[in-house]
Amino acid sequence: MAVLFRLQQDNRKNAQHKGYWYPRTINTGTIETEELASIIQRNCSMKRSDVYAVLIELGEVLQDLLQASHRVRLEGIGSFKIGFSSRGSETPETFSPHKHVKNLHVIFTPELQQDEQGKHTKALLNGCEMKKL
């Protein structure tokens, strides 16, 4: 399998490289939890219903742990943590999370794998190939 892409020309009015062509990934669909559970069932001894239950629970537990300020690491996948943007306050006394913290988001950091030559590759991209559609 390969990651599909198509070429798209940069036609933005003030672009530094206007007219250049760049690859853009193409998603061929979305795999929902139910289908993911079926795929995992084919690769292990667990039933689809058991895998599905674990995946649903993973989402709930991940939310709880992240909101308790934990970083959560899934081996072979990567780690998750909560991040945010903020505005500064003039003094510690005038700081208010509701006023100064904005853009709460989840940060995903892929796990790195190292080959024999010492080169690091993101685990989810190991062996990835590109193919023009």
- DSSP codes of every residue in 59-88: HHHHHHHHHTT--EEETTTEEEEEEEEE--
Q: To 10 degrees, what angle do helices 48-67 and 33-43 make? A: 120
Report the distance separating Cα 9 and Cα 11, nearest Å.
6
pLDDT in tens, 57-89: 999 999 999 999 999 999 999 999 999 999 999
pLDDT in tens, 2-53: 899 999 999 999 999 999 999 999 999 999 999 999 999 999 999 999 999 9
Q: Where are the alpha helices (DSSP H) in 19-125?
A: 33-43, 48-67, 97-100
Report the distance separating Cα 65 and Cα 59, nearest Å.
10
**What's this model's pTM, rounded to 2 decimal places?**
0.77
- Domain residue ranges in the chain: 71-123
List the one residue out of 30, 25, 28 whose CA is nearest residue 132.
25
Q: What is the pLDDT of residue 27?
A: 92
